[in-house]
Amino acid sequence: MARLLADEEITRQLADLPGWRYAEGALRRSVTAPDFPTAVKILDETALVAEEMDHHPDVDLRWRTLHVALSTHSAGGVTQLDVELAHRLSSIAADHGVHTDDALDHKPQIGICIDCRDPDRLVRWWATALRYVERDGNLYDPDGRGPLIWFQQVPEAKTVKNRVHLDLLLPRHEAAAKRDLLVALGGRLLDETETFWVLADPEGNEVCVCVDE
């Protein structure tokens, strides 16, 4: 199995990868081509290289912009294979006239911070709630789509209702099962309707488990 790279190793190698960033457990870049046909050519050539390496990226093509995320799922993060593929993708993009393309005002990556008194306990609860994976005390979406969740230890307890909370949308039978599991893990049922349940985690932070119909 490929070796997982430490954060400092990734940071050092990103210096040679203009336009790439490390976020949510993956190397990421958005490649904006001059037009849609060129974007498709970049995607096609990237696919051939990925198949040759037997190492496949997560890609999302939107009009002429190709969003790429590189991680080694079997290792649980970034390995040297991802760095190599990033270099090769950059070369493909450059061959089609696309060079460093990070905008000065690019869309930020989203992270959610939860203040708490017992981070270890809440990591376990929220990992179950979201089906995220834990690494170094933070929670990551294993599919690389959702935001990073991290936990900040504070001395005070929660005293008022959240002004912002997460909604978890699931089919009805899965939503009910998720509600029961989260209560069993120390959560509390605060309110319920026909289509959603309001729960609190073990320290009182609210989340809604909703029926997606």
Could you report the per-residue pLDDT of 75-104, keeping only the tens digit for each? Answer: 778 899 999 999 999 999 999 988 765 443
Domain range for 132 is: 111-211
Whether 101 is in a domain gets the answer no
The per-residue pLDDT for 105 is 43
Whether 2 is in a domain gets the answer no
Cα 197 from Cα 199, distance rounded (Å) = 6
The per-residue pLDDT for 106 is 52
121 and 201 fall within a common domain:
yes
Indicate if the pLDDT at residue 36 is higher than 80.
yes
The per-residue pLDDT for 3 is 84
| Domain end call among 30, 65, 95 | 95
Question: Please, what is the average pLDDT of the chain?
Answer: 88
- For 95-154, write each residue's pLDDT tens digit: 998 876 544 345 556 789 999 999 999 999 999 999 999 988 999 988 777 888 999 999
The per-residue pLDDT for 108 is 58
Q: Which helix (H) or strand (E) holds 74?
A: none
The per-residue pLDDT for 74 is 78
SS (H, E, C) 148-184: EEEEEECCCCCCCCCCCCEEEEECHHHHHHHHHHHHH
Confidence of residue 38 (pLDDT cuts 50, 70, 90): very high
Spatial CB neighbours of 187, under 8 Å, sequence gap ≥ 6: 125, 199, 200, 201, 202
Indicate if the pLDDT at residue 11 is higher than 60.
yes
Indicate if the pLDDT at residue 65 is higher than 90.
no
Spatial CB neighbours of 83, under 8 Å, sequence gap ≥ 6: 5, 10, 13, 17, 27
200 and 166 fall within a common domain:
yes
73 and 27 fall within a common domain:
yes
User: What is the domain-level CATH number for residue 34?
Assistant: 3.30.1360.20
88 and 125 fall within a common domain:
no
| Token pair belonging to 95 | 């061959």
